[in-house]
C-alpha cells in the first residue's frame, strides 16, 4: 500500500505508517500541477491532504487511487463527486480539530472586545494609551448566536456559557435535545438569531450549498454594533457585501480565520481588502493548527489508513461520499452451506431478474460449515418473489428471509 502525504502532517503518524509496512511519500509543498505530477509518478493508493485542493485532474492522474484522506474536517476542497464516480473513498476526521477551532473563535471574540491586537501594536511602538482602550464593552451577559450546531459549534457554546453569555443556536432541524442539554435557545429562524445576537459565530461547511450566505441581506438583520465571527470558510461570505457593510457601520467588527482566495502555499504575499480593514481581526487559517489538534488529526488519519490497509474497511463516520441507504433498498439474508458457487448462483438469479446488488456481507460460522449472506439490493418488488424461489431451489441454501 502506497501513501502520498501532500500537506503538513504529523511526523509520528508517518513513522507509525512506515512501521506498519506502508510505503510513505511525503512532500508538504505539493499543490496544483506539482501534485498532479506526483500523483501520476507515485501512483499512491491513498492521498493525504489538509486544505490542499484535490481536483479531477489529480484524481485522474492516478489509476491506483483508492482513498483520499482529508486530515481535517472540511472537504469542500476535494472533488468528492468525481471520487464517488470512480469508487474512490473520501474520508475526513470529524471533530478531531474542533477544540482548536472553538478556542480560536472565542479568542477572536475576546480580542476584538478588548482590542488586544491594537494594544499590543501600540506598546511595540513604545506608546502608552490606556485612555483609548479603557471603555471596551465586555462579554458577560451578552448574547452569542451560533450558526451550525456540529462539533465546533457545540464546543463554542460550552465555552461561551463559561463566559456567562446567553446563547441562541441555529439549526435547520428542531433540536430540543440540544436546547435542553446546553441550556440554550435553539431556533430555525436565522433572522431571529441575527437580530438578537451581539456576536454571531458561523460553524457550517463550505461548498455550493453555503456559498455567499453571508451577504448584504443577512448582514442587514444584524445589530449595527455586532461582531461577526467566521472560522468556517471564506466561501460562505460575499466579501464585497461585507466590506461595504463594514464601511457603512462604524461599530461593526469581523473576526475571521478564513478568506476567499487564500494562498495555496504555506507562506507568501496576501493582500486582501478584508484582512487589511481596520475593523477586521484576521488570522492565517490556523484554526486547526495547534499541536494538540494536529496530533489528534494525525492519529485519526493514521487509524483510517491502517484500517483500510489491513482490513479494506472504512468507518461510516469517516466516509463522506458513501450513498446513504434509502427506502428503496431491500434486504435479503441467505442462510447457506459454505460451499463453492452458492453466492455465484444467487447473484446470477439477481441479475436475471434485474435486481441490482448494492451491499453484501457474508458471515462464516465456526467450523466453516454454514454462512449467512446479507444482501442489500434495489429492483422491482414484483421480480423479488420469483428470484427468491429460484435461489431457494439451490440445494446448499438452508433458508432465506427478506
Ligand X SMILES: NC(=O)c1ccc[n+]([C@@H]2O[C@H](COP(=O)([O-])OP(=O)(O)OC[C@H]3O[C@@H](n4cnc5c(N)ncnc54)[C@H](O)[C@@H]3O)[C@@H](O)[C@H]2O)c1
Which one of 285-293, 319-327, 346-354, 372-380 is the stretch in contact with ligand 3PG (CB under 6 A)?
A: 285-293
Distance (Å, whole) CA 78 – CA 109: 30
Q: CB 314 → ligand X: shortest distance, Å?
A: 18
Q: Taking a C-beta distance cutoff of 8 angstroms, is the pair 147, 204 a contact?
A: yes
Smallest Cα–Cα separation from 375: which of 349, 352, 395? 349
Q: Quick check: 73 binds ligand 3PG (CB under 6 A)?
A: yes
| Strand 253-256 versus strand 280-282 pairing type | parallel
Stretch that binds ligand 3PG, among 71-79, 125-133, 306-314, 375-383 (CB under 6 A): 71-79
Q: In Å, how far from its chain's centre is CA 402?
A: 36
What angle do the packed helices 98-114 and 116-124 form, to 10 degrees? 70
Q: Is 164 marked active-site?
A: no
DSSP string covering 3-27, please?
EEE-S---HHHHHHHHHTT-EEEE-
Are 199 and 181 spatial neighbours (Cβ–Cβ below 8 Å)?
Answer: no
Cα 105 to Cα 97: distance, rounded to the nearest angstrom: 13
- Does position 50 interact with ligand X (CB under 6 A)? The reply is no
* Per-residue binding letters, 35-54, with ligand 3PG (x by CB under 6 A): ---------------xx---
* Active-site choice (118, 185, 241, 262): 262
What is the rounded distance in angstroms from the CA atom of residue 39 to the CA atom of residue 55? Answer: 11
Site string for ligand X, 81-120 (x = CB under 6 A): -------------xx-xx--x-------------------
- The entry of ligand X, ligand 3PG, none that residue 350 binds, CB within 5 to 8 Å by partner kind: none
CA 151/CA 296 separation, integer angstroms: 14
- Asked if residue 228 binds ligand X (CB under 6 A), the reply is no
260/237 Cα distance (integer angstroms): 8
Cβ distance 365 to 319 under 8 Å?
no
Q: Segment near ligand X (CB under 6 A), from 13-21, 151-159, 356-364, 384-392?
A: 151-159
Candidate list 159, 175, 245, 285, residue with the active-site label:
285
Binding characters for ligand 3PG, 232-271, by CB under 6 A (x = yes): ----------------------------------------
CB of 76 to ligand 3PG, least distance (A): 8
Q: Which residues are catalytic?
A: 233, 262, 285
Binding site for ligand X (CB under 6 A): 72-74, 94-95, 97-98, 101, 147-153, 170, 172, 203-206, 209-210, 231-233, 257-258, 285, 287-288
Amino acid at each position: 500500500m502506497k501513501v502520498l502525504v501532500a500537506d503538513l502532517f504529523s511526523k509520528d503518524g508517518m513513522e507509525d505508517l512506515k512501521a506498519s509496512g506502508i510505503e510513505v511519500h511525503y512532500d508538504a509543498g505539493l499543490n496544483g500541477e506539482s501534485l498532479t505530477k506526483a500523483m501520476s509518478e507515485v501512483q499512491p493508493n491513498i492521498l493525504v491532504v489538509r486544505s490542499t485542493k484535490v481536483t479531477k485532474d489529480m484524481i485522474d492522474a492516478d489509476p491506483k487511487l483508492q482513498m483520499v484522506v482529508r486530515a481535517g474536517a472540511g472537504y469542500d476542497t476535494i472533488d468528492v463527486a468525481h471520487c464517488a464516480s470512480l469508487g474512490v473513498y473520501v474520508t475526513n476526521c470529524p471533530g478531531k480539530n474542533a477544540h482548536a477551532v472553538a478556542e480560536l473563535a472565542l479568542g477572536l471574540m475576546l480580542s476584538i472586545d478588548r482590542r488586544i491586537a491594537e494594544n499590543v501594536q501600540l506598546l511595540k511602538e513604545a506608546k502608552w494609551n490606556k485612555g483609548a482602550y479603557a471603555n471596551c464593552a465586555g462579554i458577560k451577559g451578552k448574547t452569542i448566536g451560533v450558526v451550525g450546531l456540529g462539533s465546533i459549534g457545540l464546543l463554542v457554546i460550552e465555552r461561551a456559557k463559561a463566559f456567562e453569555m446567553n446563547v441562541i443556536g441555529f439549526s435547520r432541524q428542531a433540536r430540543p435535545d440540544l436546547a435542553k442539554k446546553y441550556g440554550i435557545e435553539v431556533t430555525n429562524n436565522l433572522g431571529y438569531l441575527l437580530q438578537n445576537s451581539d456576536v454571531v459565530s458561523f460553524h457550517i461547511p463550505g461548498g455550493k450549498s453555503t456559498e455567499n450566505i453571508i451577504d448584504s441581506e443577512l448582514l442587514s438583520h444584524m445589530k449595527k454594533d455586532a461582531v461577526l465571527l467566521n472560522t468556517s470558510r471564506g466561501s460562505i461570505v460575499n466579501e464585497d457585501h461585507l466590506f461595504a457593510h463594514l464601511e457603512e457601520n462604524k461599530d461593526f467588527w469581523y473576526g475571521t480565520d478564513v478568506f476567499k482566495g487564500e494562498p495555496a502555499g504555506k507562506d507568501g504575499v496576501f493582500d486582501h481588502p478584508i484582512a487589511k480593514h481596520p475593523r477586521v481581526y484576521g488570522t492565517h487559517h490556523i484554526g486547526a493548527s495547534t499541536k494538540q489538534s494536529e496530533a489528534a488529526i494525525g492519529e485519526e488519519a493514521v487509524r483510517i489508513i491502517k484500517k483500510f490497509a489491513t482490513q479494506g474497511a472504512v468507518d461510516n463516520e469517516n466516509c463522506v461520499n458513501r450513498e446513504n441507504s434509502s427506502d428503496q433498498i431491500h434486504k435479503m439474508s441467505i442462510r447457506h452451506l459454505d460451499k463453492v458457487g452458492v453466492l455465484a448462483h444467487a447473484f446470477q438469479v439477481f441479475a436475471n431478474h434485474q435486481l441490482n446488488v448494492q451491499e453484501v456481507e457474508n458471515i462464516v460460522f465456526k467450523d466453516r460449515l454454514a454462512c449467512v449472506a446479507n444482501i442489500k439490493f434495489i429492483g422491482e418488488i414484483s421480480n423479488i418473489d420469483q428470484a427468491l424461489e429460484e435461489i431457494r431451489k439451490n440445494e446448499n441454501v438452508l433458508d432465506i428471509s427478506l
